[in-house]
Chains A and B, each alone.
Chain A
Amino acid sequence: QKEVEQNSGPLSVPEGAIASLNCTYSDRGSQSFFWYRQYSGKSPELIMSIYSNGDKEDGRFTAQLNKASQYVSLLIRDSQPSDSATYLCAVNPLGSGNTGKLIFGQGTTLQVKP
C-alpha cells in the first residue's frame, strides 16, 4: 500500500463546475496535510494547508480533512481553464520527527474544458 494515494486521472470538468480531488494516506499519526498545484514543466506551488478535521476555505478552494477515515480532499469551485494542472497531495507523516518531511501522492491531473 502506498503511503499517499491519489487517482492519477485525468479528471475532466466543464468550466464553472466544481472539481473534487481526493487523497488517502496510510500513516494514522500524520499531522499536516498540503495541496500543491503543478503546471506542466513547472515546480509545485502551495495552494492549501490543513491541520485539523473539517473544512478550510480560501477563495475558490476548500480543503477537507477526515483523520478518522485518513482522507483529505480539495474542492475547486467555479473551475477555470487556468486551473488545469496536476494537483499533488502531500502529508507530513508521524515518523518524520520535527523535520516537516513530505510524502507526496503521484498527483491528479485536472482538465477544465471551456
Chain B
Amino acid sequence: DAGVTQSPTHLIKTRGQQVTLRCSPKSGHDTVSWYQQALGQGPQFIFQYYEEEERQRGNFPDRFSGHQFPNYSSELNVNALLLGDSALYLCASSRLADTQYFGPGTRLTVL
C-alpha cells in the first residue's frame, strides 16, 4: 500500500518564477492538506482540499493556490516566487478530518 507521494523531491527556482508541486494521497484517503515548513520551524497550514474544493485556508497570500483532481491527487501552485518562499512543502492526506499522514516533501529553493 503506497503512502503519500510528492514530486519533485527538490526544486530550484528564481525570484518571480512560478512553481507547481504535486501530491498523491495514501490509498483510501480523500483529503489533502498542504503545509510550508521553514528551516527550524514547525509546519504552517496553507490550505486543504476535499471533493475538489478548498475547504479551509491558512494565512497565506493569493500567490498560493491549489487544485484537487477527481482521483484525489492535488497540486500546489506558487506564483511570483519570493526568496522567503524557500522551504519544505509538505502534503498530508487523510480521510476528511481524520489523522493526517505526511508525504516526503518537496524542498523548494528560490534564488
Contacts and interface: CB of A to CB of B under 8 A. Distances in A.
Contact of A45 (B40, B98, B102): B102
Given A96-B56, A99-B55, A100-B94, A43 B105 contact: yes
B11 to A, nearest CB: 15
B2 to A, nearest CB: 15
Interface in A32-52: 34, 36, 42-46, 49
Contacts, number: 68
Given A43-B90, A45-B102, A46-B101, A100 B41 contact: no
Give the size range of A's interface with the partner: 20 to 34
Interface residues of B, number: 28
B71 interface: no
B86 to A, nearest CB: 15
Instruction: Kindly name the residue among B42, B97, B105 whose own CB sees the greatest number of chain A CB atoms within 10 A.
Output: B42
| Closest 5 pairs (CB-CB, A-B) | A104-B42, A100-B97, A99-B56, A43-B102, A43-B105
Interface of B: 31, 33, 35, 40-45, 48, 50, 55-56, 58, 88, 90, 92, 94, 96-105
